[in-house]
Structure 1
């Protein structure tokens, strides 16, 4: 929450953005718990990722093999299918 407050300027400014009381924002800062209804508005106003605000609701996407290597390559080697598609029965 500290990075959110820094981005928007103050707890009072965040309270105005969320249309709630400054006490409510202070409670979020003290506990580190942000109600789900506020997460997307906070992300929009502060630029802080929803995954950082509520990782239990918005877990960061895990890096997958498909996302980490260029298409068709595994371990830097060109991709070679184990089945010859031309002999696979008319595929």
Structure 2
């Protein structure tokens, strides 16, 4: 799953960019920028996971690889 799809899933789950921004103490403009660039701020990934249930792997697989890949390494 791409970062873009993970973030879209989080936005849909919580009910929109504004609600997600409020829940993680950032601006809607930051959320929009993350969608555009595909680069979610690393310090917000765990917060997004906590409030939406979308896994950190779906949001930033470059930082949080799937569990089975971690065990193989």
Indicate the TM-score class for this superposition, using the shorter chain for normalisation. Answer: 0.7 to 0.9
Q: TM-score w.r.t. structure 2 length?
A: 0.80
CA positional deviation for 1:23: 0.6
3-state secondary structure, aligned to 2:68:
coil
Deviates most, 37-46 or 54-63? 54-63
| Count of aligned pairs between the two proteins | 64
In structure 2, runs of 5+ residues without a counterpart are 1-6
1:46 corresponding residue in structure 2: 52
Q: Which has the higher helix share?
A: 2
C-alpha distance in 1 between matches for 2:62 and 2:68: 14
1:15 corresponds in structure 2 to 21
Higher RCO (CA-CA < 8 Å; seq separation 6+)? 2
For the residues of structure 2 that align with 1:35 and 1:24, how far apart are their CA atoms? 9
Which protein has the larger Cα radius of gyration, Structure 1 or Structure 2? 1
TM-align CA RMSD? 1.4
Greater strand share, structure number: 1
Displaced runs of 4 or more, over 4 A: none
TM-score normalised over the length of structure 1: 0.65
Alignment gaps of 5+ in structure 1: 65-91
| 1:18-33 matches, cutoff 5 A | 18-33=24-39
Match of 1:76 in 2: none
